[in-house]
Amino acid sequence: MEKFGKALAVTGISSLIFTTTALAQSTSQSTLKIITPQENQTIYGDKIPVLFAVENFEIVDYQTNPTAKSGQGHIHLWLDDPNPTAQSAQKIIEDTQTLANVAYGQHTIRTELVANNHSSLKPPVITTVKFKNAPISSPAPAATSGFDKKTALVILVVVSLVIVAAWWYTKEEDEVPTQKTMPKTKPTAKKKIRSKRRK
């Protein structure tokens, strides 16, 4: 019975060590995700921003670090490439990239984490995403304002006529003399004229 208990304990410890090692290997495996563009996303314009999420892997410049080193490297990116090779890939050394002058339509981005010497990791870490891009267009007619150019012109003419009429009306008021603005005459002069006539 003691032998059975020891064997059971050794088996339990061995399986615990094996499970812990397997979990450690699975959690330390490198991952690569494309955050932008998302699957089936429509991007407007011919410039496509690409954003990556990389875990358990250090992105470095392969030109300054040419020797393969475990846990570091860079990203290879292919846009609509049916036969991707290390030579045809765009070499990415950051977690962002902008693709310029991308023709409008459906596209596929394929990316892979690679070592500094451009060799694939073991196992390979590859991800793809399909997206679409379209030209930037003006807003649809339903989204435009409530009146067109003719209506705006009519409103402008009416407002102009109101302003001119208001100016004309105030101009006429200014020209009509009022009691306050009439020149005062000397009453003494009038009296003298009347008195001369009576004589």
Residue 93 CB partners (closer than 8 Å, separation 6+): 59, 60, 61, 62, 74, 75
pLDDT at residue 60 greater than cutoff 60: yes
Range 119-128, long-range pairs (CB < 8 A, 24+ positions): 119/68, 119/86, 121/30, 121/73, 125/29, 125/30, 125/31, 125/32, 125/57, 126/32, 127/32, 127/33, 127/34, 128/34
Q: Is residue 56 part of a domain?
A: yes
pLDDT at 148: 67
Residue 100's nearest CA partner among 35, 52, 51, 48 is: 48
Mean per-residue pLDDT, 42-49? 94
Domain with 56 in it: what CATH number? 2.60.40.10
130 touches 80 (CB < 8 A): no
**Does residue 38 fall inside a structural domain?**
yes
Pairing of strands 105-115, 72-79: antiparallel
By the 8 A CB rule, do 50 and 77 touch? yes
The answer to whether residue 84 is domain-embedded is: yes
- The residues, ordered by sequence, that sit 6+ positions from 174 with a Cβ below 8 Å of its Cβ are none
Query: Which pLDDT score is estimated for 150?
Result: 75
Q: Is 5 inside any structural domain?
A: no
First CA to last CA distance, the chain: 166
| % of the chain beyond a pLDDT of 70 | 66
In angstroms, the CA 26 to CA 154 distance is: 73
pLDDT digits (tens, 9 = 90+) for 66-123: 887 889 999 999 999 999 999 999 999 999 999 999 999 999 999 999 999 999 999 9
Residue 142 lies in a domain: no
In a domain, 41, yes or no: yes
Domain of residue 58, residue span: 28-134
- What is the DSSP secondary structure assignment for residue 33, as one 8-state letter? E
Task: Answer for the pair 24, 78: CB distance below 8 angstroms, yes or no.
Answer: no
In a domain, 118, yes or no: yes
Overall domain count for the chain: 1
- Residue 157 within a domain: no
Cα-trace Rg, the chain? 43
